């Protein structure tokens, strides 16, 4: 039985990856995932703009707080929140891993306050170790396969949010999530 749901922020609640690429000048529409093959946004930036333009450090340092704070919501977010709330009430939390730049963390907090219902404004976990939240009865919805794997290894359940860089790629998002939620609730 699922009693707690953790929602990943980036690329689940918002459209971070294409929005970052759009911001730095890549030919990617800010909510379009169709040109992305993997989750390595730095590699994607270099593929679009020229090899060696960015390394991990220079890429992340180029993203200001305002970008983190203004990333568009995913189209599925309102439905996802309603669906999760129908399953576990308000026992829903945001789980996100910021970069080491304080502007990232501040921008993500602004995003939460500007885009999520008031009752979720202080319901978040800021950690690159989401697996520590994994336990029986907990569900993580995340686009990162490794996050899901480690969360399950620690006793939680997961749903891989469809994105081009994971095995759920190409699935119609709402129907896929609904099917996965129904599957988990039957167990």
Rounded Cα distance between 128 and 113, Å, is: 21
- Sheet with 4-8: strands ordered across: 124-126, 92-96, 4-8, 138-142, 157-160
Structural domain for 55, as ranges:
18-70
Is 38:45 a contact under the CB 8 Å cutoff? no
**Is the pLDDT reported for residue 25 higher than 90?**
yes
Do residues 170 and 134 both lie within one domain? yes
Handedness of CA 62, 143, 176, 34 (dihedral sign): positive
Do residues 153 and 106 both lie within one domain? yes
Do residues 126 and 138 both lie within one domain? yes
CATH number at residue 121: 3.40.50.1000
**Is the pLDDT reported for residue 52 higher than 90?**
no
Of 2-11, 22-31, 122-131, the poorest mean pLDDT is in: 22-31
Closest CA to 41 of 160, 144, 170: 144
| Tokens, residue 114 | 């500007």
What is the average pLDDT across 12-20?
96
Do residues 61 and 79 both lie within one domain? no
Per-residue pLDDT, 187: 62
**Is the pLDDT reported for residue 70 higher than 80?**
yes
Do residues 162 and 91 both lie within one domain? yes
Per-residue pLDDT, 86: 94
Do residues 94 and 145 both lie within one domain? yes
Of 21-35, 94-108, 127-141, 144-158, the poorest mean pLDDT is in: 21-35
**Is the pLDDT reported for residue 39 higher than 80?**
no
Per-residue pLDDT, 82: 96
The total domain count for the chain is 2
Do residues 134 and 147 both lie within one domain? yes
Do residues 83 and 170 both lie within one domain? yes
């Amino acid at each position: 039985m699922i009693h707690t749901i953790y929602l990943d922020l980036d690329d689940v609640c918002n459209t971070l990856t294409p929005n970052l690429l759009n911001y730095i000048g890549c030919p990617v529409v800010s909510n379009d995932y169709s040109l992305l093959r993997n989750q390595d946004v730095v590699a994607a930036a270099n593929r679009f703009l020229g090899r060696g333009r960015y390394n991990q450090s220079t890429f992340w340092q180029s993203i200001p707080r305002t970008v983190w704070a203004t990333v568009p919501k995913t189209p599925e977010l309102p439905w996802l929140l309603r669906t999760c709330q129908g399953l576990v009430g308000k026992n829903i939390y945001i789980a996100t891993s910021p970069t080491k730049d304080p502007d990232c963390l501040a921008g993500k907090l602004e995003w939460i306050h500007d885009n999520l219902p008031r009752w979720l404004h202080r319901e978040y976990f800021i950690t690159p170790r989401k697996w520590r939240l994994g336990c029986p009865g907990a569900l993580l919805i995340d686009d990162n396969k490794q996050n899901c794997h480690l969360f399950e290894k620690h006793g939680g359940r997961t749903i891989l949010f469809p994105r081009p860089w994971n095995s759920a790629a190409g699935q119609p998002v709402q129907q896929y999530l609904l099917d996965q939620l129904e599957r988990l609730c039957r167990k």
